[in-house]
Amino acid sequence: MTELSTVLSGMSFLEGPRWRDGRIWVSDFYTHRVLSARADGSDLRTEAEVPQQPSGLGWLPDGRLLVVSMRDRRILRREPDGSLVTHADLSGHAEHVLNDMVVDGGGGLWVGSFGFDLMNGAPRAAAPLLRVAPDGAVSVASEPLHFANGPALTGGDLVVAETFGNRLSAFAIGEDGTLGPRRDWAAFGPLAAAEDPFDAIAELTVAPDGISAPDAEGAIWVADAIGNRAIRVRPGGLIDGEVSTAQVGTFACALGGDDGRTLFLCTAPGFAEHERRDTRLGELLAVRVAVPAA
């Protein structure tokens, strides 16, 4: 691996990195923008403005962008004229803010939610994944999860990071998009027991946050929100690679670049909203890795 380089700086809090059409796409929470840039950070564009805070990104088969609008619990769709419309309203299915999502090749998607008021330290509560079918139908897709975070598709499975679960969970995907029973894809330690989220953080071995799509060997890069690092994890939980971001937290990651060997990392000094909202210390970093994206 080579040294880290800075792709973007002066951001609030970056999440949801995706590589598409020769560009890195990312959401900046507190400036309410979806951004894209070339791999070196040049040609920075605002792709969408999402007043209720953007998070997970994806695309329909016809190329239209989908964006999680966190606070009003909607999935937005960017039309060819650039306007944003409601693709799905999940406010009746999720009590707290939405989080990251993944879109499948048929235009269906799965999205997680916080399940509780993290930023104000409310007691932890689990919440299920939600499914939005290609026809717009919304359904509960999984058992309650311990803070569902980055999702990825691998083979016939959906893999989801459970931040307070100390694990990545996998679900077999049925032909109709329904999910089979949860199983461990990688377990790093026991579930956190404390109800207070900040006490629970201290119990974690790894706090898996955003994750990459699988690389060419089937491994997944995992942003460890408590370890100031990203780790490369093989099915079963073997950690066989690590990138340190030193004194700043790592909250999401994605493989991309023209040859698939660039690992993009969303970093910030911390995740607390009251610290990040009015500061511009978030960065997108990049490092070259040995195994390319699948």
Give the pLDDT of residue 88: 98
Residue with tokens 């119990």: 203
Question: What number of other Cβ atoms are within 10 A of residue 261's Cβ?
Answer: 18
**Structural contact between residues 158 and 230, judged by C-beta atoms closer than 8 angstroms:** no
Give the pLDDT of residue 52: 98
The string of DSSP codes covering 117-145 is: -GGGTPPP--B--EEE-TT--EEE-SS-B
Give the pLDDT of residue 159: 98
* pLDDT mean by block of 10 residues, the chain; 294 residues: 90 98 98 98 98 98 98 98 97 96 97 95 96 96 97 97 98 96 97 95 97 98 97 97 95 98 98 95 98 97
Residue type, 188: F
Residue type, 224: D
| Residue-wise burial string across 126-138, b where 16 or more C-beta atoms lie within 10 A, e elsewhere | bbbbbbbbeeeeb
CA pair distance 194, 231, nearest whole angstrom: 25
Tell me how far the alpha carbon of residue 227 is from its chain's centroid.
Answer: 17
Question: What number of other Cβ atoms are within 10 A of residue 4's Cβ?
Answer: 18
CA pair distance 287, 275, nearest whole angstrom: 27
Give the pLDDT of residue 121: 92
φ, ψ of residue 263 in degrees (nearest 5): -100, 115
